[in-house]
Amino acid sequence: MLTIIIPYYKISFFKETLRSLERQTCKNFKLFIGNDASPENPENLINETLKTTAFNYKEYTENLGSQNLVKQWERCIQDSEISEWFQILGDDDVISENFVAEFYTNLDEVEQNKTNVIKFSQRWIDEYGKPFKEYTAQPKLLLALDNWKEKYIKGQRSSLSEHIFRTSAYEKVKFRHLPLAWGTDDLAVFEIAGNTPVYFIADAQVEVRISSESISGSSQLFLEKQRNAIIFDTYFINKYHHLLPKEFISDKINQQISFAFHHHFSDLKLNLVKYYWLLKDYKSLVKIPLIYYRILFDKVKL
């Protein structure tokens, strides 16, 4: 069975999220809504909208999302009486009416391929619900590394909401606690999938809302998101560099050097000696003292 979990905080677009659940052609799912001590109580809206959809609602007294968003996800997972499969759906995102039905339609093939992660086609919508990106597409089966390359090499979009995870596989690795949960979704897909393929479903979709109220769409968090992206890149490269294209690692090194030059030395988190040596970039290796000096003192473009 499938459990859909909504870590709720913002009411602005929540009605559309609830409507998409109410419109599901297949009702064979459990719904858990965890209110992260929001100042906007959604209970009336939930009861008014979910007429034929069973749900479990819990209101928390401590706001975890502002401290650590992943802890709020984990709290909801723990309290949801989770099924064999689960989805974490954003409180401003929307699923197509056949989303649950397509999950079950494809489940036999999913099991045959022993996959731990199911991915649905997605597109971005704005605060008015208007799409401004096309639906994503990729092969039905991709190993975790190839799925990662779709985003980080080919520029494909992805987020947390369009994924369904096998609970037993999730429990082995959990979520990584990264600031603003930036990159946590990509790590979860990669690490939960493990050695099994990610299974892509194109016939049902998720609409991911990008607005000024979301972390992804907020311009006020621009620098913080850049720094959090560096933290994610550093973690991923440090743990999985043996799997990654050398060009990718080299690009990330250059990005970090440039960012540190324009901001703070502490923003340079990759070990230049280690990675220039692994890349056999001996010319850059001997220039490391000069790179550090210019970041700290010179402020001259490298």
Which of 163, 180, 209 represents a domain boundary (last residue)? 209
Range of the structural domain that residue 230 is part of: 222-298
Cα 297 versus chain centre, distance: 37
Residues 161 and 22 in one domain: yes
Predicted pLDDT of residue 302: 46
- The 3-state DSSP class for residue 291 equals helix
As a whole number of Å, the end-to-end CA separation of the chain is: 55
Q: Is residue 215 part of a domain?
A: no
Q: Is residue 217 part of a domain?
A: no
* Cβ count near 134 (within 10 Å): 10
The total number of structural domains that make up the chain = 2
212-236: per-residue pLDDT in tens? 765 555 555 678 889 999 999 999 9
Torsion, Cα of 72, 74, 78, 79 (10° steps) = 20
Per the CB < 8 A criterion, the answer to whether 120 and 159 are in contact is: no
Residues 196 and 229 in one domain: no
Predicted pLDDT of residue 111: 98
Predicted pLDDT of residue 211: 80
- Which residues in the chain land under pLDDT 70? 213-221, 299-302
Predicted pLDDT of residue 219: 53
Predicted pLDDT of residue 220: 57
Predicted pLDDT of residue 299: 58
Residues 178 and 288 in one domain: no
Residues 116 and 204 in one domain: yes
Q: Is residue 266 part of a domain?
A: yes
124-137: per-residue pLDDT in tens? 999 999 999 999 99
Residues 226 and 172 in one domain: no
Rg (the chain; Cα; Å): 21
User: Domain holding 169: CATH number?
Assistant: 3.90.550.10
Residues 167 and 28 in one domain: yes
Predicted pLDDT of residue 213: 65
Instruction: Choose among 84, 95, 83: nearest CA to 22.
Output: 95
